[in-house]
Chain A
Amino acid sequence: QVQLVESGGGVVPPGRSLRLSCIASEFTFSSCGMHWVRQSPGKGLEWVAIISKDGNIKNYADSVKGRFTISRDNSKNTLYLQMNSLRPEDAAVYFCARGHINSWDSEGYYYTDVWGRGTTVAVSS
């Protein structure tokens, strides 16, 4: 069945970097946009970044702009999130999510349908 599996989380000191990956299966990965969304302990969900199906359009939440980079390799069915200059407030469970293709959004850019289980990032010295 359609599946997204995140990996790459861990414990890092403030100021260091981490790269998250999300491997997609059982759907045409190159047909839709992809998102990263995070949930900090005890808090609600926060959208982090979005990338179009071809990788040409990217956008970021203000809280991560200039520090995080979203990218994708459609030949490997893989989404990435490069996180630099990590701060304690970046600690969260990071989810990747597939863009929802529907009658009014044929490229699946705006909303999400399938999510992964998440990978946990902790930022601590």
Chain B
Amino acid sequence: QSGLTQPPSASGTPGQRVTISCSGSNSNIENNLVYWYQHLPGTAPKLLIYSNNQRPSGVPDRFSGSKSGASASLAISGLRSEDEAGYFCAAWDDSLSGPVFGGGTKLTVL
């Protein structure tokens, strides 16, 4: 299955704002909602953003999501060392009749 496209890596310094992109197509992102997760190896992925730009309770407002056309972005402002993790996007795919995921972006806090 073809996945969503994310940059493999991103980096920033403490306090900085970083964005992670997620690119798809009209069978997924363009016509469906986007979710974002944070994942540390060996742990359970954690939901950060749902329905393009909504935060579950407990997720800091430093995390925000947006979508335009067949692309979406996750922005992290006021970067902290504990934000160093993997981040992946997901969207329902109408062709697959299932969710499709991004390859993941490893964020390094310098």
Binding site for B on A (CB under 8 A): 4, 35, 37, 43-47, 50, 59, 61-63, 95, 97, 100, 102, 104, 110-118
Contacts and interface: CB of A to CB of B under 8 A. Distances in A.
Contact of A37 (B51, B56, B101, B102): B101
For chain B, give the interface size range: 20 to 34
Interface string B42-66: 1111110011000010000000000
B99 interface: yes
Contacts of A47: 1, 96, 98-101
A112 B99 contact: yes
Contact of A63 (B1, B56, B90, B99): B1
- Secondary structure dominating the interface of A: strand
A111 B104 contact: no
Which 9 residue pairs are nearest across A and B when measured between Cβ atoms?
A44-B103, A45-B101, A115-B45, A115-B44, A47-B98, A113-B47, A117-B44, A110-B92, A47-B99
A61 B35 contact: no
